[in-house]
Amino acid sequence: MSLDFVVAHTPINVAHPCNSVTFTVFLLSLKMIRLVVEEGLNHLPYSECTVTTPTGHKYDGVKFEKGNCGVSIMRSGEAMEQGLRDCCRSIHIGKILIQSDKDTQKIKVYNAKFPLDINRRKVLLMYPILTTLIEAVRVLTEHGLRAKLHPSPI
């Protein structure tokens, strides 16, 4: 998916009182975050289920298996948390604070807080910048996770 597709197919309410370039960029960023989160969720395990609607009709669909969680890398990754919560209201979210050391320019982990049973969960790692992800994957593997990357077609 390209940025052109997202921009070309995102409706913007022209009558909105906050209609400005800044507000438009804000709406587009929320839409792109949501699309990225939805694509990431496509790689988490799910099972088929049948739901009975209030009108009595049966609907065949899918539901996520238990044991999924999100981990955001603090600051930039936190922007993706609301998109994940919009898709999965009760999902557990952990956090990692990673910064570059001023002197050595090496990435250092300052804080890592995860669900207690993270070693048994499937993790959706949320961070929009690729370089720091390698250190985040290392921290997660130190907490018992097996790294299994699913490349996204985006």
Res 6: pLDDT: 39
| C-alpha to C-alpha distance for 114 and 70, rounded to whole angstroms | 9
In SS3 terms, 21-67 reads as HHHHHHHHHHHHHHHHHHHHHCCCCEEEEEEECCCCCEEEEEEECCC
Q: What is the pLDDT of residues 38-76, one digit of tens each?
A: 888 888 888 899 989 999 999 998 888 888 888 888 887
Q: What is the pLDDT of residues 4-35, one digit of tens each?
A: 333 344 444 545 555 577 878 888 888 888 88
| C-alpha to C-alpha distance for 126 and 76, rounded to whole angstroms | 9
Res 60: pLDDT: 93
- The pTM for the full model equals 0.64
